[in-house]
Structure formats: structure tokens, C-alpha cells
Amino acid sequence: MSAVLPATRRVRFLPRDGLTWFGVACAGLFCLLAVVGPLVSGDPNAAGPDVLAAPSPAHPFGTDQLGRDLFARTAAGTQVSLAVSLAAVALGLLLALPLGILAGYHGGRLLDDLIMRVLEIVQALPMFVLAMFVIGLSGTATAHLGPIPITMTTKVVLLLGAAFVPYFARVARAATMAETGQEYVSALRVVGVPRVRILFGELLPNVAPAMLVQAFLAMALAIFAEGGLGFLGLGVQLPQATLGNLTGGGTGYLPAGIWWYSVLPGAIMLAGILGFNLIGDALSDSLSGRGTTHVETR
């Protein structure tokens, strides 16, 4: 008996409207500043004589209260934000995909109920409440787990990654349950294909497009969350610049008309949030047969 082979979904991103192109441009600007900015902007911690200087050819984003170049600090902060967001989303996917696929494959049975009840407990804790609780216990200084140092950046990555796991797992479970009902899965079971191969060799590629959408949307949320924690002083600590602590540190100077200190780093953070969110929305439209992307099945 020959098995019915699955139709693997392949997503080709083809922007066709102005809003999606705007999202691509915003995300591209954010990533370009994160990757190239620190290479061309100099030392972000180097103080200078020009204190709180307005934007100029010498200092495109102006300077702060210590005379440090805000373009250099914004570039460094964007790099931190992108690195933390990518690491948190990757960690969340790494933990959530096996759990979601296993739960979906065993839908309605004991293993499914056990996995989803545990994830619901995690999901019940709001991200910022969880962050304040953990950071309140461990502090903002570098902690040590035996010989392994855990920096504040690592804590933020772990917190955001853990917060994403329930959302990713629920999407993976729903997509897996939809795939499990297809004829090819029953055929693979009948011919004796090992369960591990069915789960991760056949189901995983067809679950991946839905997870790609969630990854882009989670990137936007991670940039916002990392910036929010930095704004509140609960994220990566000074003197390391982040978009959150730059925006928070500059708000006190707004009444004096020194708008560039907080507005320009905040605008870069907003560009990253908007860009990844709009790309995620476009990919989501593609999976529902609408919008700017084309989905092929083979």
C-alpha cells in the first residue's frame, strides 16, 4: 500500500500594497541600524564637550547630558533590542514547537490535557508582572547559577521566551490538529512510519508557515516588551544603552524642549514594532487566502 504524501506548504512573500511595503521598510531600517549602525557610529559611551546638543551633522541624533552621541547610543540600543527579541522568539519556538505538536497529535487525550493545563498556568501570569516578580527576587545585577553567570540581558531573554511559549504552543497545537485530520497522516500510520518521523518530518514542515506568522508578530511584541522593561528600569541596565532606557532617560528633558533625547530612540523602537507587526499581518493574510503573499502547496 502506498502512502498519500503530504502537500507541503510554501510561503512566498510578495508585497502588493503600500502598507506592507511600509512595514518592510520600517523593519529593514530597524535591522540596518542594528547591524550597521554600531560599526559606523563610534563608541556609544564616549563623553564629549557638547552636552544636550541638538541634532546636527556631527551628531545626527544630538547628544545626552554627558555629551555622548545619541546616534551611537541608539544604534547600540537597537542592536540589543534586535538581539534580545530574536533570542527570545527563538527560545520560545524551540520550547513550544515540540510541546504544541505533541499536544495536537494526541488531541483530546491525557498528554494533550497535561501539556495545555501547564501552559495555561504560565499564560495566566502577565508578562510584566512575571518580569517584575523575577527581577524583584533576583535583582538587576548579574546572578550566578553555579559557575554560569546570568546577566540582565539573559534574564530578559529567558523571561520573554518563557512568556511566548504558551502562545506558540497553542498555535502549533491547532495547526497540528488540522494536519492530523488529513488523509496522508492516516496513511503514514497504516504503513508503519515511525511516530517521530510523522511528527517532525511530515507535520512540522506544514505547521511551520503558521509559526512563521507568529514569529514575526512576536518579534514586534518582544521589541515593545524589551523597550518597556528598559523604560521602567527593569531591563538591561546602564551604561549599556537600550531603546527603552534611552527613551525613559530622555523624558525628563522634554519640558526643556530637548525632544531628541527620547523622541528619536522612541521612533526607532516604533519603527521596529510597526515593521514586524505589518509583515506578520501580511503573512497571516496569506494563510487565509487574502492579501499580499502567495501560498503554494506541493
**pLDDT for position 131:** 74
The 8-class DSSP code of residue 175 comes to: H
pLDDT in tens, 122-147: 888 777 677 777 777 777 777 777 77
13 pLDDT band, cuts 50/70/90, is low
Q: How far is CA 151 from CA 75, 81, 155, 166, 183, in A?
A: 21, 15, 6, 24, 49
pLDDT in tens, 32-62: 999 999 999 889 999 988 899 999 999 999 9
The 8-class DSSP code of residue 11 comes to: E
% of the chain with per-residue pLDDT over 70 = 91
Rounded to two decimals, the pTM is: 0.86
**pLDDT for position 10:** 55
> Cell for 59?
551628531
β-bridge mates for residue 11, sequence order: 295
Beta strands at 9-13 and 143-145: parallel, antiparallel or unpaired: unpaired
Domain 14-42+59-293, CATH 1.20.1600.10 — does that match?
no
Q: How far apart are the first and last CA of the chain?
A: 21
C-alpha dihedral (96, 97, 99, 103), degrees to nearest 10: 130
C-beta of residue 65 within 8 angstroms of C-beta of residue 52: yes
64-151-120 Cα angle (round to 5) = 110
**In terms of DSSP H, where are the helices of the chain?**
18-40, 70-105, 110-123, 127-138, 152-180, 183-190, 195-197, 204-231, 243-250, 260-287
C-beta of residue 200 within 8 angstroms of C-beta of residue 207: no
What CA–CA distance (Å, rounded) separates 2 from 165?
37
What is the average pLDDT value for the chain, to the nearest integer? 85
Cβ burial, residue 282 (10 Å; 0-12/13-18/19+): buried
Give the DSSP letter string of 179-211. Answer: HHTSHHHHHHHHTT--HHHIIIIIIHHHHHHHH
Mean pLDDT of 5-22: 65
Mean pLDDT of 247-271: 93
Structural domain boundaries in the chain: 14-42+59-293
**pLDDT for position 1:** 39
Count of CA atoms in the C-beta half-sphere (13 A) of 166: 14
